[in-house]
Amino acid sequence: MGRVSCRVSSVARIRGDSLVVNESFGTRGLLLAPNGAVVGDLPRRVARDTAGVERPVQTWANLGDGASVGFVQRMRREYFEGVGPVTMAMPVVLTSRDGATTTALGDHPYARSGRGDNYLTIPYTPFFALGASDAQFVLGWPQSPDLRIYDAAGSLTRLVRTAGERRATTVEEADIGRDALLSRQPPERQTQRDRDLVLVADSLPHYLRIVVGADGRIWRERFSVEGSNSMIAGGFARRDSSTTWDVLAPSGEWLGVVHTPPAFYLMGGGASWIVGSFADDMDVKVPRRYRLR
């Protein structure tokens, strides 16, 4: 059995019970057999930007046929120069499993961050949200409650408009966000001046993550301060409180609410079950499956 060590950004089960493991930032994909043996590497995903320059693609989700959805790594000068917050938008592409065909889906917000002295990512400002199932994928920007549903060919099949109002960030939430962000910095960048330079979003996102289950149902994680800070810490950081998810049908209709247990990181699900990673008191991660009641 082949062995490999890497930082993982996503894992997807594709047809034939094989697994695709995307390395951190998604520029490399590994194909695993059902028994866990490494079969080989998927072709490196690349695409041309609007200037015709070939750039690597960050893969964040895979469809059942192994096709990947990701962002072209295009960084504009205005994302770094100037002052104040900026929303970074990048091209989204759908790439076939063999890497031979790339379908451009247009620019989409990727993240929001500071510039100049305010170089730190802004607490509670969202990153893109993306999830995929066998035959469709869902793309969102948590500053908006809307979701975009695409089929396996990359055609937009439905724009789901959901209700929701953005809430202003409280002073206490701003302080918690600054502390959480600075705790990830080296000691020399944890001064009062650094703290004063951290920009905090004036309103909170509608949600955090999207997970699409094996049955096509769409799970959308409601925003929470703990969940947002966990994402800053790398996503899989242990959470001590439960997480609330809105569950939608594959077509986008709202079905209900599910509360997942503390210390559990949802990664997939079906009509009567969910699966993910559970963190024990030592923050050791183990796979766990729950039956829905």
Find, among 94, 104, 103, 179, the residue nearest to 132 by Cα. 94
Judge contact between 253 and 246, C-beta under 8 A: no
Distance separating alpha carbons of residues 201 and 125, to the nearest angstrom: 6
Which CA distances in Å does 24 have to 15, 133, 184, 259? Answer: 23, 20, 18, 28
The pLDDT, as a whole number, for residue 135 is: 92
Q: Which of 88-92, 182-186, 189-193, 197-201 has the highest mean pLDDT?
A: 88-92
Residue 72 in this model has a pLDDT that exceeds 50: yes
Domain 1-105 has CATH 2.40.10: yes
Three-class DSSP category at 221 = strand
Average pLDDT for 262-278: 91
Average pLDDT over residues 89-103: 90
Q: What is the pLDDT of residues 123-177, one digit of tens each?
A: 777 788 999 999 999 999 998 889 999 999 999 999 998 777 778 888 888 888 8
Q: Among 9-18, 116-125, 126-135, which stretch is predicted with the lowest mean pLDDT? A: 116-125
User: pTM for the full model?
Assistant: 0.87
The dihedral over CA atoms of 153, 253, 134, 109, expressed in degrees to the nearest 10, equals 60
pLDDT, greater one: 78 or 33: 33
Which pLDDT belongs to residue 198?
A: 82
Q: List the domain boundaries for the chain.
A: 1-105, 123-293
Residues 3-24, mean pLDDT to the nearest whole number: 76
Q: Which of 220, 105, 208 is nearest to 151 (CA)?
A: 105
